[in-house]
Structure 1
């Protein structure tokens, strides 16, 4: 016969914490086997977007990143959005070509970061040189703006680093962002038309 105290202990132990999940695969030790599908993971991420950012992912693909949400808020126009996307694409191409890890941890697999080995092919060197030149050209465009270093860091933080806090930036910082994006629009237009930007 068990004592009254041991019965109470057993009763308390069974009621403590969350109720036990039923109808799930378990390991022999009792732990739940986590076999989430891609669809389930995506559903959780979409629900978090709705809850945290107050945007509907299905309404627009722009809700997935900070510059897109700024566009949805009406703080940047369509041309500025495209210029920011172009800048982010060129920076990603630069980081990929030179073998440097992408600076935003949210945009990479932290366990697969590695640079290139000691030997590079002529094609890799050409690609890295072209990407570096393009990156320096775009940074030069931003630095030549009024308040250049601030403009460059603001555009970088929004477009490349994708900091969510930048969505609520003050008016002065929003002015730097739009100034940089407008400079990128102007520069890209000159490049597309085949004219020298200088």
Structure 2
């Protein structure tokens, strides 16, 4: 049997705040989950991102290409699809080189921002092999760019757009855009030669 005082305290406690929602879905901490669906929250987040892109870059699109300088140049129609793909491949190769060798990425604006700090060198044989291969790829790509006419300017421009992701280069003058296109075309040609050579090799091995 509860005493009169206990009954009074229980009554007062029950009257505090709003009544508890019986069927509400909750997080582990007890907080009620929002009522909107995951799809609605994704749409809301996308709308915010598109509004920010339109305000900052003048691009009202959900395309992933709007998220970096080379992609924005492609959306602006200043480079072709093949040139954009070559630039993306070059950026991926350079990022792989930095990751595997432990060298920190040269800028916080570089595309793989999660690995800006680098890491200690790995001593395993497999890691060493992969790092060596990534270094060879990096040097080969730099050689491809340096062999272009005005190679130093071409290499610097391609690196600053594709790896450093400098936003200001979106409005680069035509002379500098020519260096970028020249370097990207050289990378496209190099990839075509390698793919063709690998295809011939595989056919001859059959």
Using structure 2 for the length normalisation, give the TM-score: 0.69
Q: Deviations over 1:3-47 (max 9, x none)?
A: xxxxxxxxxxxxxxxxxxxxxxxxxxxxxxxxxxx9677665443
Q: Assess if the C-alpha contact under 8 Å between 1:97 and 1:128 holds in 2.
A: yes
1:130 to 133, 141, 154: 133
1:31 maps to none
Q: Distance in 2 between matches of 1:136 and 1:185?
A: 16
Q: Deviations over 1:65-105 (max 9, x none)?
A: 11111111111011101111110110111111101111220
2:180 to 177, 182, 188: 177
Find out whether 1:54 has 2:47 as its counterpart: no
Q: Distance in 2 between matches of 1:42 and 1:120?
A: 42
1:100 maps to 103
Distance 1:100 1:41, change over 3 A: farther
2:117 maps to 113
Q: Assess if the C-alpha contact under 8 Å between 2:99 and 2:118 holds in 1.
A: no
Q: Distance in 2 between matches of 1:95 and 1:136?
A: 13
What secondary structure, in the 3-state scheme, does the structure 1 residue paired with 2:149 have? coil
1:186 maps to 189
What is the RMSD computed on CA atoms of the aligned residues? Answer: 2.2
1:30 maps to none
What secondary structure, in the 3-state scheme, does the structure 1 residue paired with 2:104 have? coil
Q: Distance in 1 between matches of 2:90 and 2:182?
A: 14
Find out whether 1:166 has 2:175 as its counterpart: no
1:148 to 146, 151, 154: 151
What secondary structure, in the 3-state scheme, does the structure 2 residue paired with 1:194 have? helix
Using structure 1 for the length normalisation, give the TM-score: 0.72
Q: Distance in 1 between matches of 2:46 and 2:117?
A: 24
Unaligned runs of 5+ in 1: 1-37
Return the offset for 1:61. Answer: 1.9
Q: Assess if the C-alpha contact under 8 Å between 1:57 and 1:64 holds in 2.
A: no
Unaligned runs of 5+ in 2: 1-40, 199-206
Q: Which structure 2 residues correspond to residues 24-63 of structure 1 after superposition, within 5 A? A: 44-58=48-62, 60-63=63-66
2:86 to 66, 83, 86: 83
Aligned residues: 156
